[in-house]
Every structure is written in structure tokens, then in C-alpha cells.
A and B are shown apart, each in its own frame.
Chain A
Amino acid sequence: MVRPVVELDREGIDRLIAQLGDSGFTVIAPTLSDGTISHGPISSSQDLPVGWTEVQDAGTYRLTRREDDALFGYAVGPHSWKRFLHPPEVVVWQGDGGMTPLDLAPPPRYAFFGVRPCEMAAISIQDKVFLDSGFSDDVYRSRRTDAFIVEVECYEPGGTCFCASMGTGPGAVEGADLVVSEILDDEHRFVVRAGSDAGEEVLAALGAAEAETDVIAAAEQVVADAAARMGRTLDTDGLRAALTAQAQSERWDEIAARCLTCANCTMACPTCFCAGIDDSLSLDGAVATRTRRWDSCFGLEFSYIHGGSLRTSAASRYRQWITHKLSTWWDQFGSSGCVGCGRCITWCPVGIDITAEATAMLAEARSEEAS
């Protein structure tokens, strides 16, 4: 099916944002916040980080100005969209003494404006985890079903990006309602493609001119250039088997000497989905509440079963995380659990680099195989 492709200027982007707001969506987009580019509500393109970018490397992040008025001239920030779809803390059930569930507030209808291809891929992975793996999670479904996604292709990869290695960018991946490409040559303009019926309806209502082929070609060129400028790369050939083969490697202890087991990587990761359940009762015993909170395989409690924790060493916990992410995720969900967004590298306080650690394990496995 051929979906419509239109060209917009910045004013057109403003009309698009306004239209989504008028349709009842809470529009969330990258904004300048806490010295970072983080997600927040917007009502026009002026609320985006216009003319800003960031410098990212292992364990470091700094905002910096661009020399233009780009709307999307940066990579991904500290938080992923899972904050909205799989909230960090959510009451999943609340009841009074009669076991009658109390009404919980319905979630807002979100329009996510500025979802990067790696993030779109991450949402698709969480869709599989929460909706398509044999059960359906109410919390996730109630937020995901009506969400409208505006994906934005990347032309300014960050220092820790490696989506090109993971096949999840910098060009758009499947799943969005609209796909935006920003072009910054002599004329500042945007190519917007519909990716779903809902996206098509929005474009039709917007009444924009069809994009010319030369403009579409320019948008494609921007993405192709970006693929060659990734901050990191990861050779995934044989990686899945290598990680499980190296389960007894001494290198895990070497990584553990650096790992803080602080859980930042798992919290920043857009696909990590683990959560814990806490039940509580008000002091007078009248109201029982079941709360779900993000949890992490880096915590001791996480693997606690009768008698103790299964993964007491930091080595076993790091191994669990990276092996699940890059290897056993395939067995469980049919894809890699890593989308190459680089958050776990940037937001590790001591800068442990998943690409470097995986590469080292792969090299170890290859050399053992050769000998």
C-alpha cells in the first residue's frame, strides 16, 4: 500500500502538533529539561530543543548549542518512552475491605512526537513482551492502544549510538503512525510520511502538499549519511552463541570490578521491562494497594527465592543482563533485546560500554573456537 508523503515547513509542524492536541492527545516530545533533552508536554515546535544538541560518551552527557534552528538535531536523552507506556510506578489494584476494587484513574491518550527509530524498535519489542507473548498486560495495553506515534529519523547520531549495527535506524523502522524527516540544507523543511490509517487521516486533515521526489531523495540521503557516523558499532555475527558459550569466562569478574550494580543501565534501557510488585495496607487496614515498580536484575532482591538470592555476585548479575539482552532474548522473544540506543553506555555512572564488553566476549569465543 502506498501511503501519502507530504512536505511541511516549520509552520506545518506547528499545525500538526496543534492538530494532535486538538484531537485530545497529550503531546509528549523531547524538551530541554534538567540539563538534558528529556520528554515533556509540548504545544508547539517552540517547546522542542530548537538549536540544541548534546555530546554523549561512556558515562558522560553535556548539552551544547547548534549553529542552526534544527528541531531534531540530537540523539536520545536519558529517559525512554517506556516511562509512559510501562510507568516506573503504577497502582495496579486497589481495594477496600470488601474486596471491591476501587476505581483507578484512566491513563491519558498520548501522542509521542519525536520517537527515534531505535525507540520505535524498542516499543515494538515491548509490544511483544507486554501484548503478544501469551498474555496481555493491562497497564501497558491501556496506554499503548490509543497512542499516536510520530517517528523522527536521525541525522545527528550521538557518541554512544549504534543503531546501524542493530538494524534499528537511523532510518525509520515499522510501527509509527507518521514518520518525519528533517532537512536542513538551504531550506528548512520536513518530509512526513503516513505509516498507518490513523496517520493518513491526520495528514489528510492537515491538507499539506505532496512531497516532490527530489525532497524525498534529500531526506533519504540525510539518513544514509547518518548511518556512517555512528558513535559506536557492534559486530553481532555469532554474538548470540558467543555470550552463552562464555558463561564461565573470567572476564565477567573483571567487568564486575568496575560494575556498581546500581541498576542505571536497566532503568535507562528502553526494552528492559522487569518490575516488582509490592502489596501494602493502610494503617487502619481499610485499603489494600498493589503497586508495580520498575525493578532490576542488578538488585539482590530480584533473584531472591526461599533461602537467598540466586545471583549474589556482581559478575553473575552483569552476565545475566548482557546475556539476556543480546542472546537469550532471541530464545524468549525472537529478536535481540538491544536496539543500539546507547543509553546504557552514556548513563552508566562509570561508563561501562555494552559494545566493548560484548565485543571482548565475542573475541574470546572466536579465539577459543580457533584454538
Chain B
Amino acid sequence: MRPLEERQPTLAVYKFASCDGCQLSLLDCEDELLAVAGAIQIANFPEASREVLPGPYDVVLVEGSITTPHDEERIHDIRRAAGVLITIGACATAGGIQALRNWKDVDDFVNIVYANPQYIETLETSTPISDHVDVDLELRGCPIDKGQLVEVIAAYLQGRKPTIPTYSVCVECKRRGTPCVMVKGTPCLGPVTQAGCNGLCPAYDRGCFGCFGPMESPNTAALADQWHALGIPANRISEAFRSFNAWSGAFREESDRWEERSPV
């Protein structure tokens, strides 16, 4: 490969266990997509083009979690052929909603779902990419925010640090001018969830679902106590932490803590 100064950097997109929503965010960039395509060569992105150029690639976006023995091997091959490896979305960064299997016996699911379970080769757990290989940057969200994706690509091209905040969703709600839904009585995960969605759900009078995972210093215990004080039963509190980012540190621990309590 020629040195970077003499050519456009190349981009590859890979998918593991996931719904495709995050890589679709790249196609969803619309206004920015042409600028992205003008600045970086999309070399391996089957969802966008049948043409696949050979690697290695300068920037690799990885979507999805590791759930099969085949995945476990494939991610190492991808890492070896990647300059910068960026994981995108809750599946790739936390194991995704499918990490709910981590609390159960996966064979039970396989036997219920598949007519011929003997052909299914799967792992006991769904785990984030960073459990298997070194990751250079994680972009959170279910799905990711396309603005953050463009910011990361721009920062890579310009050789600077991307601006990806790690504080709470509350900061975005306040900047946006959304009065706190929790103070008005609706349980919300915003105070323990990382920003990135621009406070989307509270702006529509819904509590935050925690799509972007734990913020930089999540006090999940204090928030959960307040939910309980608002009348939310223990099992519902446990379930709230156990969604797209169920397997990520603070959310996982808090969900376990409330599961062990009586359901009310």
C-alpha cells in the first residue's frame, strides 16, 4: 500500500451479531455522505456497495457483538488488517440486547427457537468487541448518533481528537431546554447515561432508556433508589438497567442488585 500522504484513506465496515442499524447510520448521513465519500475511500462496506477492495484498511468500523466461535476468530483477523478500529453501537461496545443470554442458559433458547438445534454453534455469552481485541475508540448508542460518526471520521482525517462527550444526558436536556422529566414524575435513566442522543426521549416526555450506556461516573445506586421512591418496583428497576447496555459495568451491577431484592 502507498503511504497515506499519497492516497485517500480506506474505510471498511464489518458486522457481528447486531441489527445493522448502526452501519445504516453511515448511509443515513445523507447530507454528509458525499463529503465522507469524497474524503475517504469506502473500500469494504457490503451494505453500500458490492465492490470490495482488498485490505488492510486504514479505518475499520465494527458493529455487533461476539456470539459465536466463528466470530471470535474473525474479529482477530479484522483487527490484524485494521489501522484504527472503531466499534459502533451498544452491541459492539457492550454486548447489546442479546447479552441478556448472559444471565441464562443459552441452550434453553436454542432448543426453543430452532427446529434442529444440533446445527447451531453458539457461545454462552454475548460480549463486546473490546473483550476480544484492542479497540481504539468506542462509539456508544442504540443506534449510534450519525453526527458523532461524522465527527469521528472528520477527526481521523484531520488528525485531531474527536469531541465525544462522556457526561450525562442531563447536560443535553438542559442545553436543549427540556425540563427534567424525572422531576415531573417520570423515571429516567438520563442522569446515569452518557450523552450523545441530544436528549431525544425526554424531549418527547419519555424517560431515557439508557441507549448510550453508563456515563463517566454513573451513580446508578442513587438513581435506582429514587426510582424506587417514585414507586417503581424492584423487578422493573432491574429490567430498566437490563436493556441494550445490560452487560456494561454499572448497569449490569445495578440490575443484579435489584434482581436480588423482592420484586416490589
Contact = CB atoms under 8 A, between A and B. Distances in A.
B262 interface: no
Interface string A241-264: 000000000000000011111111
Given A261-B217, A283-B39, A283-B153, A78 B179 contact: yes
Nearest to A299: B167
The listed residue with most A CB atoms (<10 A of its CB), out of B38, B180, B190, is B180
Interface in A61-89: 61-62, 77-79, 83, 88-89
A349 B188 CA distance: 9
A284 B31 CA distance: 13
A257 B175 contact: no
Interface in B191-237: 191-192, 205, 215-217, 219, 221-223, 225-226
B179 A34 contact: yes
Nearest to A79: B177
B30 interface: no
Given A78-B180, A83-B177, A267-B170, A260 B32 contact: no
A62 B184 contact: yes
B179 A346 contact: no
B166 A35 contact: no
A87 B179 CA distance: 16
Nearest to B37: A283
Nearest to A264: B170
Contacts, number: 134
Interface stretch (B64-72, B88-96, B120-128, B157-165): B157-165
Interface residues of B, number: 43
B19 to A, nearest CB: 27
A60 B171 contact: no
B183 A301 contact: no
Contacts of A298: 167
A143 interface: no
A356 interface: no
A220 B216 CA distance: 49
Interface of B: 32, 35-36, 38-39, 150-151, 153-154, 157-158, 163, 165-168, 170-171, 174-180, 182-185, 188, 190-192, 205, 215-217, 219, 221-223, 225-226
Nearest to A260: B191
Given A264-B170, A283-B32, A349 B175 contact: no
A348 B171 CA distance: 12
A267 B217 contact: no
Contacts of A348: 183
Top 4 A-B residue pairs of the complex, sorted by shortest distance between their CB atoms: A267-B174, A262-B191, A88-B175, A78-B179
Nearest to B190: A262
14 contacts: A38-B179, A88-B176, A257-B222, A258-B219, A258-B222, A262-B191, A264-B191, A283-B36, A283-B153, A299-B167, A314-B219, A346-B183, A349-B223, A350-B226
Interface of A is mostly: loop
A267 B171 contact: yes
A285 interface: yes
B205 A34 contact: yes
Interface of A: 34-36, 38, 59-62, 77-79, 83, 88-89, 257-264, 267-268, 278, 280-285, 293-294, 296, 298-301, 314, 346-351
Contacts of B178: 34
Nearest to A57: B183
B153 A294 contact: no
Contact of B165 (A267, A284, A301): A301
Contact of B222 (A260, A267, A296, A301): A260
A238 to B, nearest CB: 30
A176 to B, nearest CB: 24
A224 B96 CA distance: 58
A78 to B, nearest CB: 4
Contacts of B188: 349
Contacts of B179: 34-36, 38, 61, 77-79, 347
A300 B174 contact: no
Most buried by A among B150, B175, B178: B175
B261 to A, nearest CB: 18
A23 B158 CA distance: 48
Given A267-B174, A268-B174, A280 B163 contact: yes
Contacts of B170: 260, 262-264, 267, 349
A347 B180 contact: yes
Contact of A59 (B151, B157, B176, B183): B183
Contacts of A62: 184-185
A301 B166 contact: yes
Contacts of B183: 59-61, 78, 346-349
A182 B253 CA distance: 53
Contact of B226 (A88, A257, A264, A349): A349
A267 B226 CA distance: 20
A337 to B, nearest CB: 18
